[in-house]
Every structure is written in C-alpha cells, then in structure tokens.
Amino acid sequence: MVKATTPDFDDAEGVVNQDPPIFAEVGHSDIDAEVENDDNLDVDLPDDTDEVPAAAGATDKAATPAKATRPKAPEGYVKPVEFAKHLGEHLGKTVPPQVVYSYIKNNQGEGARNPFPTHEIGGYAWYIKPEEGLAWWDAKNDRVTAAKAATVAKAAAKAAAPAAPTEAEGPVTEAE
C-alpha cells in the first residue's frame, strides 16, 4: 500500500491524519501545510528594484501635449455657454448653460412651433446672436404666461357653464 500525504477518512484502520514527515515533526496539519506552502502562491510580489512613480505635480510640463483650444465664435455671435451668461445678466439671476442647451435642442427641427434662433457657421450649428436669443427668451416667457392665462380662463368658463340636465329636469331625447 502507498502512503498518502492527504488525510484518508475512509481508511479501515481509522487513521485520520497522515502528515508528510517534514510537517509531522513540527505538529502542523495538512491544511496548515497547504496554507503555509509558498509554492502554491500565485502572487506577483514587487521587486526591490521597481521604481517608485514620481508625484503627480512633479511631471514635466513640456512633456505633456497642450490641449487644442476651441475656436471662438465669429464676431456678433456667441456659443450657448456665453449666451447663458448674457441671459443671466438680462434676467438678473444665474442661468446654467444646461438650460440654454436644453432649450436649443428641444426647440429645433420641423416639429418645433417656435424654434430657437441658432446659426450654422463653419460646421458648428449652435451659434447664437445675443439679441435674437434674448428676444426669443422674452417671447417664450410671454407665451408661457399667455398659455397659463388661457388655461385659467378655460377652467373658469367650464365652471361657469350650465350643468347638464339631470333626471329630475327630465329625460334627454336624441334627435334623429
């Protein structure tokens, strides 16, 4: 019979632990031997010769390529971010650029009743003339106010309209 190095619990002789001779002297179990055996490890340990990376602020500025600057808007036009600043000054409060981008995007195309006034120049489609944009914004506010007033008037007219006849007033006859 060949001597096994792992426990054999089904052994008829009742031997539960058959340690290899090297660990039997120390008193380790097979599980401890498995855990402590460095040959089973699959871990990359850093060498002492590895270089430590330099600090992030210590990089050479000349080595990094400069980012390309975005082209400026032509004379008399602004981009949406700059228009948001103009609009904020006009309204007396801060207007985030995302609001301007949203109104431009949602009020363009064939289905737009009141398209936002943008101009395409040199492949960029969202140049805005500040005076046109401010006029559109003021007209938008007027449209919103008028729509709210119309809704209120419609609700008031519906409330003032005579109610439909009830059964107590008599049956409703259909015309043929």
With respect to residue 163, please indicate whether it lies within any of the assigned structural domains: no
Q: What pTM does this model have?
A: 0.51
With respect to residue 56, please indicate whether it lies within any of the assigned structural domains: no
With respect to residue 166, please indicate whether it lies within any of the assigned structural domains: no
With respect to residue 20, please indicate whether it lies within any of the assigned structural domains: no
Q: What pairs with residue 124 in β-bridges? A: 121
Express each pLDDT in 108-140 by its tens digit.
Answer: 888 888 899 999 998 888 999 999 999 999 999
With respect to residue 99, please indicate whether it lies within any of the assigned structural domains: yes
Task: Note whether 128 and 77 are within 8 A (CB).
Answer: yes
With respect to residue 98, please indicate whether it lies within any of the assigned structural domains: yes
Which domain range does residue 93 map to?
A: 80-158
Express each pLDDT in 68-92 by its tens digit.
Answer: 787 888 999 999 999 999 999 999 9
Q: Within 13 Å of residue 32, how many CA atoms lie on the same side as its CB? A: 10
With respect to residue 129, please indicate whether it lies within any of the assigned structural domains: yes
With respect to residue 137, please indicate whether it lies within any of the assigned structural domains: yes
Task: Note whether 104 and 116 are within 8 A (CB).
Answer: yes
Domains: count for the chain:
1
Strands, E assignment, the chain: 119-121, 124-127
